[in-house]
Structure 1
């Protein structure tokens, strides 16, 4: 499967979905004007990949900030990862800055929503 790379902008995160290198990461800021439009190709890619995932998957969220509409799209991604966890081992690695308790709490809320292993890392 072809990897998906999206470069970060001032309003959108960097996205790296590369099964060949076993890198699955969304990082930086997520406050796109239209979160549905931005996340649509990401959700489609993950949905397609979820049909035949291979090996253990570690999905890193390294976000500095997410707005409400991005949070809804990330929930969709997490639900797809939960579905994949029936086929392979999935671990969500939620990274947050030491001084950013809001991002830690956001990750903890997501962890309560889905039945996938969550790990938290202070940056």
Structure 2
């Protein structure tokens, strides 16, 4: 039986909340660690080992505040994995959330969306929304 994956966020690493039972997979926060391989390798291995076991629709939620170049490469690798799941017939959607004041994060999401063939949903929120949650 597959296990969900949860890694709490730190000052330098994002929260990973992959819930196989619900088909919702979230990556949220900042990703500015030096050793991105050490952090993301278990996440990628989990995807490889567990996604095949579900027939649920898959929703990948990205709510990134900031990430460095090394992290962007790992996130793109994860997006390519998601693209593979979609190509294999899985029902997949990507939700890209960004602060409406952060045009750069919106553009990064748009760039990523152009690199893969998976439906993307773009959702903006305000800084005030964060304070109210």
Q: Report the TM range for the smaller structure's normalisation.
A: over 0.9
Q: CA deviation at 1:43?
A: 0.5
The alignment yields a C-alpha RMSD, in angstroms, of 1.0
104, 107, 111: which one pairs with 2:109?
A: 107
The unaligned stretches of length 5 or more in structure 1 are none
- Unpaired segments ≥5 residues, structure 2: 126-133
User: Structure 1 residue 62: deviation in Å?
Assistant: 0.3
Q: Which residue of 2 aligns with 1:56?
A: 57
Structure 1 runs, 4 residues or longer, greater than 4 Å off: none
* Corresponding position of 2:36: 35
- Please name the residue that 1:65 is paired with: 66
Larger Rg computed on CA atoms: 2
Q: TM-score, normalised by structure 2?
A: 0.89
Aligned residues: 123
Structure 1 equivalent of residue 94 of structure 2 = 92
Deviation by residue 1:18-71 (Cα, 9 ceiling, x = unmatched): 111332100010111101111000000111123333211111000000110000
Alignment match, 2:79: 78
- Shift in Å at residue 88 of structure 1? 1.3
Deviation at 1:101? Answer: 0.4
